[in-house]
Amino acid sequence: MKKLPKWNEMEEGFITRILSESINKTGTWRTFKPIIDQSRCTKCGWCIVYCPEPCIYYESKKDSKILIDYDFCKGCGICAEECPVKCINMVLEE
């Protein structure tokens, strides 16, 4: 009888290793674009934790400038709604 393969000898099944961030740029879905008013931003970080994408991040470390990755931002507006100092404006995409 032919010897059956062990679990570690089996061929890989349907496994994909391509990350969505490398090909699926969802920024094209956006109607309104969030713009951070950097002069009023207190860098509290609530927009970062509430972003469902996630596409908002500190530039380098904590308390550095907060940036938005427009390649992925879908323009939901949660950041603008939840910002404690209301320094994020949603402007119509052109």
Partner 1 sequence: MPFKSINDIIVKQDFFSPGHGLCAGCGAAQIARIVMKVVGKDSIIINSTGCLEVSTTTYPWTAWKVPYIHVAFENAAAVASGIRSAYDALIMKKKLNKDVNVVVLAGDGGTADIGLQALSGAFERGDRITYICYDNEAYMNTGIQRSGATPYGAWTTTSPSGQRTFKKDLMGIAIAHRVKYAATASIAYLLDAANKVEKAISMNGPSFIHWLQPCTIGWRFDPKLTVKLSRLAVKTGLWPLYEYYDGAVKLTVQVPKRAPVLEYLKLQGRFRHIINNKNELVKIQSYADELAAKFGLGPVSE
For residue 70, how many C-alpha atoms fall within 13 Å in the half-sphere facing its CB? 9
**Residue of 41, 67, 69, 70 interacting with partner 1 (CB under 8 A):** 69
Compose the 15-44 pattern: x for residues touching partner 1 by CB under 8 A, - for all others: -xxxxxxxxxxx--xx-------------x
Residue 91 in the binding site for partner 1 (CB under 8 A): no
Cα distance between residue 64 and residue 76, in whole Å: 24
Residue 47 in the binding site for partner 1 (CB under 8 A): no
Q: What is the nearest approach in angstroms of partner 1 to the Cβ of residue 38?
A: 18
Q: Which residues contact 23 (CB under 8 A, 6 or more apart)?
A: none
